[in-house]
Amino acid sequence: MLLPKKSSEYRTPAVSSQRRKELQLFERKSGIKFRDIELLNLAFAHRSFANESSQDVDNNERLEFLGDSVLGLVVAEYLFENLTDRAEGDLAKIKSFVVSEDSLAEIARRIEVDSYILIGKGEEYSGGRNKKALLADCMEAIIGAFFVDSGFRPARKFVLRHIVPEITKVLEDRHRKDYKTLLQEHVQKTYKTYPRYNLVKKTGPDHDKTFWIEVVVNEKSYGPGKGANKKEAEQNAAALAFETIHRNVKATKPAKPAKAAKNEKAPKPVKPPKPAKVEKREWNSRSSESSPFRKRP
């Protein structure tokens, strides 16, 4: 059995009292709890930070390597146990989507990993904090650090909490849909205009805001969608609008007449009955002469 290691076995960045408070806030947001918070701090340490640091510290790449394997095992086990009717090829495709850079970066943004990453000045100036690859790598490092800190079961629970919604997206074919783009394309084509997004309200404290946004299409409001940031809230509002509009379009389409089966012959049309023939009477001079209505001279 692999026993959790102590942070003293790693060259971890120093954790100030302010940094400790920040890491504890991240724990509450993400649903994770470290025995040794210095390991969590190390998971956030990008190579650029370690290279520029005056301290002799490690970066998070080894934890990322470990986290990648833990993530893969947890997802593979979950798919194997829960999707018993799927073939190996299907399971492999689903797994590749949910452990992809896009999926992990989305989870990282959802729990605001970008706010806690330790990066160097050069990487900061180049927008590294928002790079998908950097966010996905940091997410794997957090998983690896939690596995080292607390073992497989807690790490598995943490992974599933955040990865199962991504699996659901794949199963419902929502994993590759950018609803803002889809909605904009539909609105431009149909109404020759653009969707309009309005901030309805903000809730929660400054460090943990929730945004509520509605989208207006052809003077009709949809939503609101909510999210941890405006981008996420707009995406969710667009999803609500797009799905609602398309449901309504389907509902208003006239039903097509049922087609006859291939082997079933269509009934022959019934011909109307022919009118009865009227027998013509021939009147000759003789018959007319004998007629009782003939006037006598």
CB of 155 within 8 A of CB of 70? yes
Max mean pLDDT range (3-7, 109-113, 259-263): 109-113
Whether 16 and 151 map to the same domain: the answer is yes
- What is the model's pTM? 0.60
The count of structural domains within the chain is 2
Please indicate whether residue 185 is annotated as part of the active site. Answer: no
Whether 224 and 87 map to the same domain: the answer is no
38, 64, 68, 114: the catalytic one is 68
Quote the CA–CA distance of 294 and 194 in Å, as a whole number: 94
Please indicate whether residue 36 is annotated as part of the active site. Answer: no
Residue 268 lies in a domain: no
CA distances from 8 to 13, 36, 57, 140 (A): 11, 10, 12, 21
**2 CB-near residues (< 8 Å, 6+ apart):** 151
Max mean pLDDT range (124-133, 218-227, 258-267): 218-227
Whether 187 and 169 map to the same domain: the answer is no
38, 123, 140, 234: the catalytic one is 140
Per-residue HEC secondary structure of 55-124 comes to CCCCCCHHHHHHHHHHHHHHHHHHHHHHCCCCCHHHHHHHHHHHCCHHHHHHHHHHCCHHHCCECCHHHH
CB of 144 within 8 A of CB of 65? yes
Whether 80 and 191 map to the same domain: the answer is no
pLDDT on residue 152? 97
